[in-house]
């Protein structure tokens, strides 16, 4: 797979959970706007990825179907308070492009746009004591 159409940067994703369709700007992204939907399901373990080829395993917390209106995308279930600026930042799209998606040249009225919300598992960072014990264990087993 390549991150660009010219094939300048070639990399392969390692085996693992399914990948999200589009890349994110940061591996700590909380949201992603997908204009053409996805087959991924809620509570599924998935991987988000950056254009550089880095990936991170997360849990798909919510998959929110959207209705695209003239005033911007709205959740089908009527919920409000979606932080669209953060969605745009995490998705790597301009805020104006998302809010004006109905007028965008790539808009397809036959596709259901979705908003994905990610849950990042807690990563335990080893303490200094754990690092020292690990080194001592390796020395003992030499």
List, in order, residues 6 or more apart from 135 with CB less than 8 Å away: none
Across the range 49-76, mean pLDDT stands at: 92
Radius of gyration of the chain measured on its C-alpha atoms:
19
List, in order, residues 6 or more apart from 55 with CB less than 8 Å away: 13, 14, 16, 19, 27, 47, 48, 49
Q: What is the mean pLDDT of the chain?
A: 89
- pLDDT exceeding 90 applies to what percent of the chain? 67
Q: pTM score, two decimals?
A: 0.78
Q: How far is CA 141 from the centre of its chain?
A: 42
Helices marked H in 4-123 — which ranges? 84-91, 95-99
């Amino acid at each position: 797979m390549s991150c660009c159409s010219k094939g300048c940067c070639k990399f392969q994703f390692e085996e693992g959970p399914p990948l999200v369709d589009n890349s994110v700007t940061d591996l700590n992204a909380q949201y992603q706007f997908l204009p053409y939907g996805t087959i991924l399901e809620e509570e599924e373990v998935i991987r988000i990825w950056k254009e550089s080829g880095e990936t991170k395993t997360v849990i798909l917390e919510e998959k929110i179907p959207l209705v695209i209106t003239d005033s911007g995308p709205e959740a089908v279930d009527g919920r409000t308070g979606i932080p669209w600026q953060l969605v745009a930042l995490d998705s790597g799209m301009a805020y104006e492009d998302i809010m004006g998606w109905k007028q965008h040249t790539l808009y397809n009225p036959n596709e259901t746009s979705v908003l994905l919300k990610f849950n990042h598992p807690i990563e335990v960072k080893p303490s200094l004591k754990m690092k020292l014990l690990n080194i001592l264990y390796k020395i003992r087993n030499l």
